[in-house]
Amino acid sequence: MPNLKPKSEPKSLTGNARLIIAPFLYGWPDKRCLLAYTSHEGLAVVAALPDEKGMAPSLWDVAANHLATNIRPDDVDEQYARWVVSTGWGYSVIRWNPSLTLDGEEWTVTIRKTVREFKEHQYGRAVCGWYGVHTGALTLKDPLLANKARGMLNER
């Protein structure tokens, strides 16, 4: 396993790795956002795209709403991170309609939370092939692509 611990955590990341964006229902019955899944320097990146008002849900809070409430306090970040990675990874293995796959387009993530190393578990250390995750809000450099992505929220 690579050493993924930097001296300090970055506040944002910029990249142009393959990016998958698709609508995501994060709160029943009608709270939807755009979920983005990509990678950066060996970690998964799972983020929400801000809406027209600049708002993006916290995927950490969404994970909290989807997991059991009896998680040991020292495992909360671990379990939330595993849920976030699994949700993002699902976008890479299931063809979502509508969805947008971009390769080589610049994006920036404002990081809200990072988990760098998952703990050992019965199936190993990796979760969906990843040893850690960054989560936050992702913006596309190209405003036309950002508008195209937002348009997917109106498709059903």
- Residue at 33 is within a domain: yes
- Residue at 131 is within a domain: yes
Helix axes of 76-93 and 59-66: crossing angle, nearest 10 degrees = 100
Which ranges of 94-152 does DSSP label H, i.e. alpha helix?
Answer: 143-151
- Characterize the bridge pairing of strands 12-15 and 19-27: unpaired
Higher per-residue confidence, 7 vs 93: 93
Task: Output the pLDDT for position 1.
Answer: 44
Residue 55 confidence class, pLDDT cut points 50, 70, 90: very high
Give CA–CA dist 45/130, Å, rounded: 10
Confirm if 20 and 111 have CB atoms less than 8 A apart. Answer: no
Helix H or strand E segment including 85: helix 76-93
Distances (CA, A) of 14 to 21, 39, 145: 16, 11, 16
Domain count, the chain: 1
Residue span of the structural domain in which 57 resides? 12-154
Q: What is the pTM (predicted TM-score) of this model?
A: 0.88
When mean pLDDT is compared across 35-39, 67-71, 73-77, 101-105, the lowest value belongs to 67-71
- Residues, the chain: 156
pLDDT tens per residue, range 76-93: 888 899 899 999 999 999
Q: What value does the mean pLDDT take over residues 115-142?
A: 84
- Residue at 4 is within a domain: no
Task: Output the pLDDT for position 5.
Answer: 54
Q: What value does the mean pLDDT take over residues 54-71?
A: 88
pLDDT tens per residue, range 18-48: 999 999 999 999 999 999 999 999 999 999 9
Higher per-residue confidence, 83 vs 118: 83
When mean pLDDT is compared across 3-17, 33-47, 100-114, the lowest value belongs to 3-17
